[in-house]
Amino acid sequence: MEKFKKIIGIAAPFTRINVDTDLIIPAESLKTISRKGLGKDLFSYIRFNEDGSENKKFILNQPHYKSSQILVTGKNFGCGSSREHAVWALKDFGIKCLIGTEFADIFYNNCFKNGVLPIILKNNQIENIIKIISLAKTSELEIDLENQSIKTKTGKNIGFDILPYLKNNLLEGIDDISKTLEKKKLIDEFEIKIGKHYPWLNKKNG
């Protein structure tokens, strides 16, 4: 997983509340186990019209926000089913950081497992950020994970909290698989030991 240190990018305000994972990525797009290629279907129910054309009113279709790397969200973002594809779609589209007052628990944890940083702030902080990024000339934010800070183009510096081990996982680019592989030597030793005590476990069926 790619290490997350600091990003400087356009932030798009998407303040709709209770955005569930089906709205983020529709069920018909869940036919793959690949983390690549899902960005084209991100928010497809509201990003596109029935004829397949772009919904010009949707924030990520507006010229200045098409290249957004940061999404400022409404309350309870990522609720609904536990589909990890929702985070895959966001990341494949180019979203590296989410900022909101509340995220659904499973979605929140899935973000860290896939290198996306979800930041939780207070209501008044979110409101201030939205006012700033709603203007194209001040829509860029700097997200510094190591120093746990958000810097705006207007000079505001907003700190945020994050659990140390989740922070470290992102800084080091560690996911569940790489964590397991760190113990590969111990796992190999255990399998050899178990194989000696219970040799039938190593026999293939048939």
Six-digit token string for 143 = 């997200």
pLDDT over threshold 60, residue 204: no
Express each pLDDT in 134-145 by its tens digit: 999 999 999 999
pLDDT over threshold 80, residue 132: yes
The CATH code belonging to domain 6-174 is: 3.20.19.10
- 144: β partners: 6, 149
Say what the pTM is: 0.85
Q: How many CB atoms lie within 10 A of CB 21?
A: 25
Express each pLDDT in 104-115 by its tens digit: 999 999 999 999
**CA distance linking residue 46 with residue 154, whole number of Å:** 31
Domain ranges of the chain: 6-174
Average pLDDT over residues 112-123: 96
Predicted local distance difference test score (pLDDT) of residue 181: 59
pLDDT over threshold 50, residue 85: yes
